Copies of this chain bind each other. A is one copy, B any other.
Amino acid sequence: MYGGTAASTIERFGARIGDKVEVVLSAEGSQGGHHRREIVLKGTLMGPYGPAAEPSLTIKLQNGYNFSMDPEGISSMKVLERVGTDPQARQRAAEDPSLPLVALIGTGGTIASYVDHRTGAVCPVRSADDLLYLLPELGSICRLRVTMPMSKLSEDMTSSDWTVMACEVVSAFGAGARGVVIAHGTDTLAYSAAALSFVLRDLPGPVVLTGSQRSSDRPSSDSFQNLLHSVMLAAGSDLGEVCVLMHASVSDGTSAVHRGSRVRKMHTSRRDAFRSVGSEPIGTVTDGGVDLTAPYKRADTNTEVRLHGKFSDDAILIHAQMTLDGPLLEAISRKRRALVLAGTGLGHVSSSLVPAIEGLISKGIHVIITSSCINGRVNLRVYSTGRDMLRAGVIEAIDMTPETALVKTMWCLGTLGPDALSLDRFRELFTSDISGEIGDRSILSAFPGAFYPLDEEDQDP
């Protein structure tokens, strides 16, 4: 909430946060006040940034830039379109039992971050209110239950954070939520989505993880659309899965809904960085509504939500490469109970590594094979080194991404507990499809190829 002159200025002109407004600023001319100029700005009246209210008022201009001004310089402000609601109205909406209850779980990251105007650094928001004020429209779609169990940049997330998030989801559904939105940093968002998809099954509503590639103070921010569409999906669809919602293209307008265990951050900075791998997205969300086009698991409101299993950190993902030799592989794996090895191509490693892999397996370390290619299925039956590896007891990760294979390994180890020592028990659980992470033979459209048109079905070997 604004305070001081900012608050009284807004009140004087009858505007509310979220309204489209036209602001007239008085500015001194260059000749020392001889020529007073007026500057007219049109845009959306934004809430204050930062944990402490600043004395300035901010509007988001039509070109997307945020413009902050001293309230003293405002000579008039006209409400062009009434969008915002006053805090009391929002409070009343929040209690309207005819609206579905959506739980928003804040965890930190860019989607919940702002630029500290004093230092120029990007800081995580520290209260749930900060999130709500960014997007007042949410109040008209649903009642919101906001919790913030942590405030972390996602590169700092650990497997215990996954468990905390999962418990928050269980608690949200227990409190009557129709759906859940988790605001999460994008760096490890796909890991968390895969993790939640393993421990949360038979869901009574959607669990939507969303993030932002550009913070909300930037003209090209994707925060607003991603949050709004995530809440729409959580409030109004019968999806019973853990999914990721992010921009579907570099343009605003459409968001893609990806299966939680089949999505990967494929670009460092683009707003459409998240891509489904090995399957098409489940569907899309626009301001007009939710459109789920691929098969998905329906929400089951008759089940009680609970956590299925837990996670162990006793695993590591290593990529095969020419400088990886047996002694180094052993030094790495000796400290873990399972090694996820991203091979080249169909899952190959140098034949010089096979004795080390045999040694690890004979010591009871599970070796799971995935591919650095990311797309496609591993297949170790084509070449002799692969067959040697299969004989030694490696487990093929089928068409899971390396990251999903790692998370599933952590989940299998944690869930099986002492039983994970049995290679057979581990293999049985690891190769069972839990949340759509294992696909039938890859479909063509699941591998994007923008440079050249795809015009013919291709066959896997």
The interface of chain A, by Cβ under 8 A from chain B, is: 121-122, 153-159, 186-188, 191, 214, 220, 248-251, 254, 256, 265-273, 275-276, 280-281, 313-324, 327-328, 331-332, 335-336, 343-352, 371-379, 382-385, 402-403, 406, 410, 442, 444-445, 447-461
Please list 18 pairs of residues, one from A and one from B, whose beta carbons are closer than 8 Å in the complex, sorted by A's number.
Answer: A188-B344, A191-B322, A248-B451, A249-B449, A249-B453, A250-B457, A267-B375, A267-B447, A268-B377, A273-B373, A280-B451, A318-B318, A318-B319, A321-B403, A332-B332, A447-B450, A449-B450, A450-B454
Q: Provided the pairs A276-B451, A345-B155 are in contact, do residues A410 and B191 lie with their beta carbons within 8 angstroms?
A: no
Question: Which residues of B sit under 8 angstroms from A347, Cβ to Cβ?
Answer: 268
Contact B153 A348 (CB under 8 A): yes
Contact B321 A317 (CB under 8 A): yes
Contact A460 B269 (CB under 8 A): yes
- State the CA gap A445–B267 with chains docked (Å): 13
Contact B323 A328 (CB under 8 A): no
- State the CA gap A155–B320 with chains docked (Å): 9
The majority secondary structure among interface residues of chain A is: loop
Q: How far is the CB of A273 from chain B (nearest CB, A)?
A: 7
Partner of A374 from B266, B350, B457 at Cβ < 8 Å:
B266
Contact A324 B316 (CB under 8 A): yes
Q: How far is the CB of A129 from chain B (nearest CB, A)?
A: 23
Partner of A384 from B121, B451, B458 at Cβ < 8 Å:
B121
Q: Provided the pairs A249-B452, A331-B335, A452-B249 are in contact, do residues A268 and B379 lie with their beta carbons within 8 angstroms?
A: yes
Contact B275 A346 (CB under 8 A): no
Contact A376 B328 (CB under 8 A): no
Partner of A272 from B220, B322, B345, B452 at Cβ < 8 Å:
B452
Q: Provided the pairs A156-B350, A331-B335, A458-B271 are in contact, do residues A345 and B248 lie with their beta carbons within 8 angstroms?
A: no
Contact A250 B444 (CB under 8 A): yes
Question: Which residues of B sit under 8 angstroms from A319, Cβ to Cβ?
Answer: 317-319, 402
